[in-house]
Structure 1
Amino acid sequence: IEQIDYIKEIGSLVILTDNAVNLYDVHELTLLTQFPQSKGAGIFSLNSGVELLNQETKKPDPDGIPSLTTRLCISVKRKLFMVVWSDSEYMGELCVEYALPDRVRNINFVSSTKICISLSKEMILLDLISGKLEDMFQHPPPSSSGFTGDFITGASSITSSLTEFGLNAAMSTINYKGYKPPMLKLNDKELVITKDDKGVFINSEGSSIRDTSINWGGYPYDLGFSFPYLIGVLPKSIEVRNSENFQLVQTIDIQSSFLITKSKQPYIASTTGIWKLIPTHFANQINELTSKKFYSEALTLLDLNRDRITEIKTQSVKQIQTLHAYDLFYNKKFDDSFNLFRQVEAEVKWIVSLFPDKITGSEFEREMPDFMKEISIVKTKSNEEGNEKEKDKDKDKDKDKDKTEDQEVDKKPWEMVDEETLLSAECLTSLTKYLTDTRTSLNVKILHNENPSPQTSPKSNASLSPRLAPPPPPNLNQLTQAASLTDTTLVRVYLSNNPNLIGPLLRVKNYCKVNQVEKILMKEHKYKELFDLYYTKELHRKSLTLLSKLNQSQDKEVPAPFNSIDPIIQYLQKLGNSNLELILEFSSDYLQSSPDEAMEVFTLDSTEVEKLNRDKVLAHLVQINPQLGIKYLNHIITYWKDVSTKFHNSLANLYLDCIENSPNGFSNIDTGLMSPTIEISPELNVQTFYHQLLTFLKSSNYYRPEKILGRLPTEGLWRVRVVLLSRMNLHKQALHILVHRLQSYSEAEQYCCQIKTPEVFCFLLQEYLDPEITKLPLIDPAVELMIRYGGWISSYQALTMLPPTVPMKTLLPFFEKSLRGQMRIKDSNSIYLNLLKGEKLKIQNQVINQQSKSVSINENTLCRVCLKRIGTSVLVIYPNQMVVHYSCQNKFEAGVKFTGDDLSLVGSYQTQGSLPANSLPTVNSLI
C-alpha cells in the first residue's frame, strides 16, 4: 500500500496499491470499486466539502443548492483522472480526464475547484471547471545524491533528544525511488507547498499569502501539522517549526522516516516501528521558552492557543512581553523595547530604573517587576537574531556557554548596558518618545479616574510559573506617582538631549516634582523654564519673590531680561483676578519707582488684565498716586468702554482733587488754558488737569452732574460749572456765567449754537438786555446776536426787550431774516396742508372701493379656520372676501400671511343673510 485515505460520505477507504486506485468498504474491507483508468497511478488527492451545485447540470453555480461534494483526483503519468460524488451519489457524468504537459510528482487540492500540481520542472494550478492551466513557479530537480549530504539546522533553535516527543526507538533508513515535493493543506484558505528547501503558503488563486517562507534544513520528504506546529520530514532529521513565524522549535535526529498520517496527532513510521508525536503541555512549553529567553516563540505560542486553553490569560501575555522588552533593551534595540514596554503598559519606574543617576536622580530607588526576581537576567543575544544553523552545536559548547552566563547572573538589570550607551542620543531619543507617549496615556487615565478592574482567577494561572502571576491593578495614587516620575524624568532627558523642549513641557499641566526640578533648573540657570513651572503649579509668590530678587541682584551672571523689570511685569499681567492681592502687593514698589512701566500691569489689552477688580485696583493706585488713578480711569473708559457711573464720577473727582491740592487751588483757574497732555509727570500743572476735566465732562454722558456740581467751590471753575449746568438743562444759569462772570460773548453764542433751540437764544438776549439782570444793557452784543441768528429769535420778544434808543436802521438785517423765516414757515405749512388733502382723497377712494364689494352669507357658508357654518355668529370679513368667525380671527391671521391692503380689517358684525356693500362700515377721515 503506497497511499490510503478515507471517504466518510460513502464509508469507503481509498487505497493506492500496485499503481492502481481501488475503493474498499470501511467495515468489511471488501473491494467495492476498481478504477480501470487508474492503472499506472502514482498519487491521489481527496477533497470534501459543501458546494453550491446546479441540480440539472451538477456543476458549481452561485445560485445552486448546497450539496456535499467529494472529489478524488488520481494522477496517471501525464494525466489526471477526476472522480466525483455528490451527496453520496456517484456522478459519472462529472468524471473527466485532464491532459498535462509532464509527469506528475505530487498533487493537492487548493480549493474544491482548483488543484496544485507539481511536475518535473514546474508547478502549475489547474482549474477543474474550465480546465485552464496556470504556471506558478519553476524549480530545479533534486540532487542526484539521494539527499545524503550534510544538512545544517538553525543555531538558535532548541535541539532536543528524541525522548522530548516520546520517541524511544531507533529509526532505520528508508530509500525513496523518486522525490515528490510534499504539499500540505492546512485549511480551506492555505496550502503549504515546497520549492527546493523552501516552504511557501499559497491561497486558492495560487498566490503567496505570507511575506516570508520556511527555510527547511534540506529537501523535505513529507509535511505534517500538529497545532500549532509544522512538521517537516527531512532525510536526516525531523524539524518542528512554529506555523506562525516559522521559527525552528525542535530538531529530532532521525533518518529516513516518514509520516503515516497527517492528523492532529502525527505518527512516524519505519520498517521496524511506529511512533506517535505527543507535544508537552502548553503551559510547560511557555515556561521553558521564557526561562531560555525565547520570548517571541512563547508569545506566538500563547497567541495561537489563546482560544484553546483556559489557563493562558492576557496578563500572562503582558508579563512575557515585558520580559521580551527587557531582552530587547539589553540588546540595545531601544525603539523596539520601548514600543513593547508601552504596549504592555509597563510601570514607568521599571524603565527609568534601567538608566543612570543623571536621568533618574541620585535619590531614586530602582525597582524591577516582581515576576523577574525568579529569573536570571543574563545578557545574551535574542532569539530572533540567532542564526538557525547554530541550533545543532555540540552540547559541550552549550555547557561552556552556560558557564559564561552563570558568571553574569549576579548583574542587576540596570547594569546590563553601559552608561555611555544609555546616555547616547539614540537611546535618549527613544526614551523621550516613550515617556511622551506614556505621559499622554497617564493624563487621560487620571483625567477620567480610570482604575483597571482586577482580573484575579486563581484557577486560570495554576499551571503557570509563579512569576507569571498578574500584578494588582494600579490605583489613582499610583497613576499620579507614575505621572510625576514620568514628567520629572522627561525634564532630565530633555536637559541632556534637547533643552529647548523643557519649556513647552512645563508650560502645560504636568506632575513634575517641584523640589527636584527647581534644583535642576536653578543649577543650569534655566530661569524662564523655572518660572513656567512655578506658574503652572500656581506657586506665584515663590516666582514673584525670585523675580524681584533677580531684578535687584547685582550679579552679572543673571541673564537678560531677568535683571530688568519686564519679566515681573509680564508675570503679574498673567495672574488674573484670582491673584489680585499678589498683584497689588508686588506692584507697589514698581508703581513708585517706574510708574509708566508698572501701569502696564493694569492697562494691558488682555482678558486677564481687563477682568481685574477695578474698584480694588483704583483704590490701590489712588493710594500710591492719584495721577495713576486718573490714568487707569482714562484707560478703562476710553479703551474698555466702561460706562459705570461710579468710575466716571471718580475720574471727575480725581481731577478736582488734583486741582484743589495744587499750590493755587481753585483760584485763577479759568485763565491760560493749554493743550492736554497724556503723560503723567511731576511737571504736570493744574491747567492740564483743568483742561482734561473739561474735555472729559463734555464727552462723557455717564457721570452725575449734580454730584460733581456739589464739589465745586463758590467762586472759580466757572467753565466746569457751565458744562454741568448745561447737562442739567439749566441753560439760563449757564449763559449768565458766560456773559457776566467770564464775559465771553463768543462762548455764549457757541453755547446757543450747540443747544439750537429758540428758547436758548432768547435767554442769551435777555442776559444782554434785561434791566433786572444787568444794570447797563449790552446793546452791541445784543444787536449782533439778533443779526446773526435772527431766524432763531422771536421778533416780538426781541422788540419788547430792546430799549427805545436803538436805531431801527441797525435792526434792518434782523427784520429781513425774520420776515424771510416767517415766509418760509408759511410756505412749508401750505405744502404740508396740500399733502394731507391728497392723502385724504386717497383714503376716501379706498373706502369707496371697499364699500362697492359685498359678501353673500348663507346657511352653507363655512368659516375658513374651523370649517363650521357661519350661521348667525359674529363674523369677520377681510378685504379679500374671506369670512371667518370672530373667535377664529387670531388663528386665521397667525396662520395666513397677507401683504398690502389684505392686512386691513374691513369690519366685524353679527348678521343674517346677504351683506350689501353699503352695509360695510366706513373709514373715518384722517384729516
Structure 2
Amino acid sequence: MVLVVSPYSCFQFSSRPISTFDVFAGLIYVTFLDGGLATYQIPSAVETGMDLFDETKLVLEDLNAVGKTQLSGRALQLQFLPNLGYLVVLLENQTVQLLNLTDYEQIDKFEEARFGLIKTWYEDSKDLHLDQLNEEDNDYITADDMDTISLATTALETTRSKKFINTKTGNSFLCLVSKRTLAIIKWHNNQYERKYEFKLNDKIQLVEFLNADNLIAAMKNGDLCRIDLPHQSVSPIQIQFLNQPSGFNKSFFFSSSDSVGELFKANNDQQLIIFKDHNLIKLNSDLELVVYRHHAHSIDFKNPVVVPGHNESGKKLKFLKYWFPYLVLVYSNSIEIWNLENGSLVQQLPCKTSLQSIVDIKFSPQFLFLVGATTVFKLVKSSYEFQLSEFEKSKDYNNALNLIEKLNPLVFQDDTDSHSPRQIKFLKLRQFELLKGLEYLKNHKYDTAIKLFIDFLASPETLLDNLPPKVKSLLADDPTLKHTSSRDSLRSSKDAQGLPQKESKIISLCITYLTDARRKLIRLLDPDSPKFQWHGFLISSELYGTHDLPVLEKKLELVDNCLFQCYLLTNSRMVGPLLRISNYCSFDKIEKKCLKLQMYTELVDFYYCRARHDKALELLEKLCFEEKVFKPEFMVKYIQKLGRPQQDLVFSFSKKLIDLNPLHVDEIFMDDSIECESLDKVQVLEFLSRWPVLQVRYLRYLIFDLGETNVRYPNKLIELYLQDPEKNQAHIHQLYSLGNYTPNGVLKQLNSLQPSPAVLDLMILPLGKLNKHNDVLDILINKLDNTAKALQYCVAIHDNSPDTGIELTNTLLDMLLSQKKFASVLEILDSGITFVDPTQVLAKLPDTLLLKELSKYLETNMRSITSLLRQDIITSELLKVQLVNIKYEKLETDRVHVRLDSASRCAVCGKNFSAASILSFFSNGTVVHYGCAKHKTG
C-alpha cells in the first residue's frame, strides 16, 4: 500500500458544537450551533508516516483565529465568490446572506423564498488559492482522446479536445435552490447584471455548474436536466445507467436505499461524475458515458466503477468524495484512497476508534479534514515524489502513471534542472512506462512491453538485455544455429530451420521495435535538427542517455546488427533491403556472415551502400570469371552505377569484360546515365586506345550522340579514319560537314599518306576552309581532271562570297584555256552560269571557236541580261509613282492651317506665342517655338 495520506493532528471545539466547516484559500471557516463564525489560519504540517488512524497519537493543535463574527442564526452551508469578495451563507431559517469576506459585514440578504441549497461559480477558481499551486494539469489526456505519448519523429502539434472549457466571460453566479425553484443571480465584471428563475418538475437535490453557460440539476425523482442560461432553456438528460435492478423506479438521488449520492467534476473539470447505487458513472461534456480506448491509455479505465456499500469488515460506507487526484471513501472503521480511473485501492487507513461520529469531510490541496460534532481531524497528503517512489517500490506502475498524467508539470519543477516542467513530466512518464514495460517482459507479455518501448523511446539495451536467455543467444548469433542459404530462403517464406514458434514471435516483435528505434536514432543524428518538439515535449539524444554522436552511432550499430540477425532468423528476404539502405551494421560481421551463407547479392549491395566498390568488384570478378556464379552482365550492371570518383576502378575492372565481349563498352561507357556521362572522356578515350575500333565507336558516341564540340574528338576520329581513307571516305566527309576540325592538322596527315584519288578528294574541303581555292582547282583540274566538280566548287564559293566566286570562276577558265582544254571550257559555259561578265569571258576565248558552239551560252546570258533590264525598268517606274505620292502628301500638308491667338501656348515650354515668335511644326500639326522644336528633337 502507498501512503497517500497520514493522520497528523486534531482541532477541539468542545464548548461549541460545529454547524458547518469549510476550507478556502488557506483559511478554515467554522460556524457553530450558536451562530458564531470564526476564521482560522490553517497550520502547517509535515508527513508523519502513520499508517493507522489512532486519535491518541494525534497532535492537538491550537488554531490562530484571524476573524470572528456572529451570524443571525445557525449556518447550514457556506459558499464563496472570492472575485467579488463575497461569503455566501445559508442559514437555518432558510435565508441566504451575502457577507464581505474581509470584515463579514452584510452586503445583501435573500429571504423571498425558503432556500435549501446554494451553489456558486466563478472564473479561475483553481487560481484563487493565493500562492498555492494548481496541481491539476490542464492538458490531462481525457476520454475519447486519440493522442498518446507515442512519439513520431516529425515535429507535430495536435489540439486536444478539452471538456467543460471555461472561457473568460467576467461572470460570477450564485444559484439559490428552493424545492423545485432554482434562482440564479449573475454578476458581470463585479457588477450585478440580472437574475434567472427556473421551475423544475420535482424537488432539486443537487446542482453542479458545468461552465459559465450551463449547469446540471438532479431531482429527487431521479431526473437530470441541463439548464442553458444564455437561451434560458431546460432540457432533460437521458442516461443509460448500468447495473440497475429490474423494475428499478426509485429516486436516482437520495433514494430510500443505503446508497450515497454525489455529483461532481473531476480531473480538472474534464469529467462529470455521478455516484448512485454504488456505481461511479463518468460522463463527458456531452453527458455521454466516457469510453476509453484501453490500448491508448496508461491505465485500465473502467466505467462505471462499482463501489461496495460495505468494506471487507462489513462496515457501511459513510462518505465518498473526490480529492484530487483520488477518491476518498470513509467507512466507520477505515479510510480508503481509490484510483478514480479504475477503482483500484491505493491506500487503506484503519481506525482504532470509530469514525461513526464524522459528519462531513473537507479538503485543501495538502490536507484532508474529517469533521465531527466538536472535533476536526487533520490528515496530511504525502508529497507526490514520495507517492511515486512508493508506487515504484510496490511496482504499482498504473497508479503511478495515472498520478503523473494528472499532475501539473510545475509540480515536478526542479530549480537545478535545465528542463522545462512539461519536459520533466514527460521524463517521469517515460520512466514508469519503461518500468511497466520491463514488468510485462518478465510476465511474458512481449507485445505489450515492446509497444511501450516503442512509444517511450526505450534504449536498445533496455530491450535486448531483458529478453529471454534463448532469444538473447539467438540474437548473439549462436554458432550452433543453422540457417538456410540466401538463395534457398528467397524461394521459401518459411522461418529458419529449427526456430521455435515462441522465439520466432518474440524476434518478430523485436523487429518492430528495432525498425522504429533506428528511425528515431537516425532522426536525432540529423545535424540540422538534432532535437524536435512533440506535444510540448523535447525529444533529444538525452533520452538515450548521451549527447555524444559517436555513442548514438554505437547504439545504431547495435540496433542494425540485431536487426540483421533477426531477419536472418525469421525472414532472410529482408536482409537485402536492410543492407541496401544507409545502415550502421558492423562491416566485418556482415561481410563474414554473408560470405558464409553465400548471400552474395546482399553482400554486393552492402558493399555498394558503404562505398567499398573495390571489394564489391573483386568479389564480382571472382564470382563471374572464376566460380561462374553470376553472368558477367551482373558485374557490368554494378560498374554502370559508378561515376567519376570511382573511374580508376571502372577502368581496372572493365578490361576483362571488354576482352570477353567488346559490346560491353556500350553498356559501360556509352550508357545513357548521369554516372556514365560524368566519366572523364579524355581518359576513357585513352583507356580504349588498346581497342582502336572501340575508340571509333566511343568518338562517334561523343560527337553524334552527346554533341560534344571539343575539336580534339573530331580530329582524333579523322586520324583513326585516315588509317584506311578509301574505306572511311564517307565518314570523313560526314565529319567535314560538322565544320568542327583543324584543317591544317588534317592536311598534314593527308600529305603524309600515299597520294590517291580518295586522299586528294579528302584534301579539297580542308584547303577550301583555309581559303586555298587555287590549290583546290589545281587538284580538281590537274590531278583529278574533274571539271564538273571544279565548277561545282566555284558555284558553292559564289553562293557564300559572290566576288570570290566570280574571281575563282575566271581563274578556272584561264586555267583551262591555258591548257587548251576548250571542251572543258565549253562545258562550263554551257552549264548556264550567268554571274560572270560575258564580255570578259568572250574576250578570253580564242578566235578559233565557232560561233555556233557559243550560241547556248550567248542565249542564256542575253536572256539573263534582258531579265535584269526589265527589272530595272520596273524599279524605275515604281520610283516615279512613289515620287508622285510624296509630292501629293506635301501639298496636303501645306494646306493645313493653324489659328493662333493670344491664348495659344507652346506645347513644349508652355509660354504664349508673340507676334515676333518664329514657329515650327511637328509632324502631327502641333505648333511650337522654333527653339523649342530643336530642344524637343534633341
Aligned mates of 2:871, 2:912 — CA distance in 1? 55
Aligned mates of 1:743, 1:567 — CA distance in 2? 58
Aligned mates of 1:227, 1:621 — CA distance in 2? 85
Structure 1 residue aligned with 2:851: 808
CA deviation vs aligned residue, 1:270-300 (integer Å, no higher than 9, x gap): 8998654433332222112123332232122
Q: CA deviation at 1:181?
A: 2.3
Q: CA deviation at 1:730?
A: 2.9
Structure 1 residues 773, 645: closer, same or farther in 2, change over 3 A? farther
Structure 2 residue aligned with 1:218: 308
CA deviation vs aligned residue, 1:67-97 (integer Å, no higher than 9, x gap): 654223244xxx3464859699999995967
1:897-916 alignment runs, 5 A limit: 909=934
Aligned mates of 1:736, 1:836 — CA distance in 2? 48
1:230-249 alignment runs, 5 A limit: 230-233=327-330, 239-243=336-340, 247-249=344-346
Paired-residue identity, %: 22
Structure 1 residues 873, 614: closer, same or farther in 2, change over 3 A? farther
Indicate if the aligned counterparts of 1:125 and 1:206 stay in contact, CA closer than 8 A: no
Larger displacement relative to structure 2 (867-876 or 713-722): 867-876
Q: Is it true that 1:443 corresponds to 2:513 in the alignment?
A: no
Structure 1 residues 251, 581: closer, same or farther in 2, change over 3 A? same
2:459 pairs, out of 341, 344, 347, with 347
Structure 1 residues 44, 799: closer, same or farther in 2, change over 3 A? same
Q: CA deviation at 1:771?
A: 5.9
CA deviation vs aligned residue, 1:740-767 (integer Å, no higher than 9, x gap): 3223445445545544547658856865
Cα RMSD (Å) = 5.0
Aligned mates of 1:779, 1:431 — CA distance in 2? 102
Structure 2 residue aligned with 1:167: none
What code does the residue aligned with 2:712 have?
K
Indicate if the aligned counterparts of 2:767 and 2:773 stay in contact, CA closer than 8 A: yes
Structure 1 residue aligned with 2:396: 294
1:446-485 alignment runs, 5 A limit: 446-448=525-527, 473-485=546-558
1:318 pairs, out of 430, 441, 446, with 430
1:791 pairs, out of 819, 830, 834, with 834
Indicate if the aligned counterparts of 1:442 and 1:479 stay in contact, CA closer than 8 A: yes
| Secondary structure of 1:132's aligned partner | strand
Structure 1 residues 213, 592: closer, same or farther in 2, change over 3 A? same
Aligned mates of 1:321, 1:875 — CA distance in 2? 101
What code does the residue aligned with 1:654 have?
L
Structure 1 residue aligned with 2:368: 266
| Alignment gaps of 5+ in structure 1 | 52-61, 145-174, 364-417, 454-468, 660-668, 670-686, 887-905, 912-919, 922-927
1:100 pairs, out of 169, 190, 201, with 201
Structure 1 residues 649, 328: closer, same or farther in 2, change over 3 A? same
Structure 1 residue aligned with 2:706: 640
Structure 1 residues 789, 303: closer, same or farther in 2, change over 3 A? same
Structure 1 residues 235, 598: closer, same or farther in 2, change over 3 A? farther
Structure 1 residues 131, 235: closer, same or farther in 2, change over 3 A? farther
Structure 1 residue aligned with 2:688: 621
Structure 1 residue aligned with 2:117: 44
| Secondary structure of 1:788's aligned partner | coil
Q: Is it true that 1:303 corresponds to 2:405 in the alignment?
A: yes
What code does the residue aligned with 1:537 have?
R
Larger displacement relative to structure 2 (232-241 or 642-651): 232-241
1:719 pairs, out of 726, 744, 761, with 761
Structure 1 residues 117, 576: closer, same or farther in 2, change over 3 A? same
| Secondary structure of 1:538's aligned partner | coil
CA deviation vs aligned residue, 1:193-214 (integer Å, no higher than 9, x gap): 1244332334676455664524
Q: Is it true that 1:585 corresponds to 2:671 in the alignment?
A: no
| Secondary structure of 2:395's aligned partner | coil
1:182 pairs, out of 262, 266, 278, with 262
Structure 2 residue aligned with 1:150: none
CA deviation vs aligned residue, 1:803-857 (integer Å, no higher than 9, x gap): 4443322332222211111122222333344455555666667777778698999
Structure 1 residues 22, 535: closer, same or farther in 2, change over 3 A? closer
Indicate if the aligned counterparts of 1:74 and 1:81 stay in contact, CA closer than 8 A: yes
Aligned mates of 1:846, 1:505 — CA distance in 2? 89
Aligned mates of 2:242, 2:583 — CA distance in 1? 65
Aligned mates of 2:648, 2:167 — CA distance in 1? 84
Structure 1 residues 438, 470: closer, same or farther in 2, change over 3 A? closer
Q: CA deviation at 1:29?
A: 14
Q: CA deviation at 1:5?
A: 2.1
Structure 1 residue aligned with 2:90: 14
| Secondary structure of 1:818's aligned partner | helix
Aligned mates of 1:514, 1:847 — CA distance in 2? 96
Structure 1 residue aligned with 2:744: 706
Aligned mates of 2:919, 2:558 — CA distance in 1? 85
Q: Is it true that 1:576 corresponds to 2:643 in the alignment?
A: yes
CA deviation vs aligned residue, 1:633-655 (integer Å, no higher than 9, x gap): 11100011011112222221222
| Secondary structure of 1:266's aligned partner | strand
1:521 pairs, out of 594, 608, 621, with 594
TM-score, structure 2 as length reference: 0.67
Structure 1 residue aligned with 2:622: 549
Aligned mates of 1:509, 1:89 — CA distance in 2? 66
| Secondary structure of 1:307's aligned partner | helix
What code does the residue aligned with 1:14 have?
L
Indicate if the aligned counterparts of 2:182 and 2:198 stay in contact, CA closer than 8 A: yes
Aligned mates of 1:222, 1:885 — CA distance in 2? 111
What code does the residue aligned with 1:711 have?
Q
Aligned mates of 1:67, 1:134 — CA distance in 2? 25
What code does the residue aligned with 2:823 have?
D
Q: CA deviation at 1:778?
A: 3.3
Aligned mates of 2:664, 2:685 — CA distance in 1? 17
Indicate if the aligned counterparts of 1:569 and 1:600 stay in contact, CA closer than 8 A: yes
Structure 1 residues 278, 706: closer, same or farther in 2, change over 3 A? same
| Secondary structure of 1:240's aligned partner | strand
1:30-69 alignment runs, 5 A limit: 38=114, 44-49=117-122, 68-69=172-173
Structure 2 residue aligned with 1:890: none
Aligned mates of 2:647, 2:561 — CA distance in 1? 31
1:651-690 alignment runs, 5 A limit: 651-656=717-722, 658-659=723-724, 687-690=726-729
What code does the residue aligned with 1:572 have?
I
| Alignment gaps of 5+ in structure 2 | 1-18, 21-74, 125-165, 247-254, 293-301, 310-316, 415-420, 480-497, 533-541
Aligned mates of 1:115, 1:476 — CA distance in 2? 57
Give the paired residue count: 737
Indicate if the aligned counterparts of 2:259 and 2:276 stay in contact, CA closer than 8 A: no
Aligned mates of 1:436, 1:141 — CA distance in 2? 46
Q: Is it true that 1:434 corresponds to 2:504 in the alignment?
A: no
Q: CA deviation at 1:551?
A: 1.4
Structure 1 residues 64, 472: closer, same or farther in 2, change over 3 A? closer
2:672 pairs, out of 605, 613, 632, with 605
CA deviation vs aligned residue, 1:867-920 (integer Å, no higher than 9, x gap): 99999999999655789999xxxxxxxxxxxxxxxxxxx996369xxxxxxxx9
Aligned mates of 2:822, 2:817 — CA distance in 1? 15
TM-score, structure 1 as length reference: 0.67
Aligned mates of 2:568, 2:886 — CA distance in 1? 90
Larger displacement relative to structure 2 (270-279 or 721-730): 270-279
Indicate if the aligned counterparts of 1:451 and 1:475 stay in contact, CA closer than 8 A: no
Structure 1 residues 583, 253: closer, same or farther in 2, change over 3 A? same
1:734 pairs, out of 757, 760, 776, with 776
**Larger RCO (CA within 8 A; separation ≥ 6):** 2
Aligned mates of 1:334, 1:853 — CA distance in 2? 108
Structure 1 residues 594, 92: closer, same or farther in 2, change over 3 A? closer
Aligned mates of 1:541, 1:348 — CA distance in 2? 33
Indicate if the aligned counterparts of 2:187 and 2:193 stay in contact, CA closer than 8 A: no
Indicate if the aligned counterparts of 2:170 and 2:188 stay in contact, CA closer than 8 A: no
Indicate if the aligned counterparts of 2:206 and 2:263 stay in contact, CA closer than 8 A: yes
| Secondary structure of 2:382's aligned partner | coil
CA deviation vs aligned residue, 1:587-631 (integer Å, no higher than 9, x gap): 233333322213432111212211221221112212x12222222
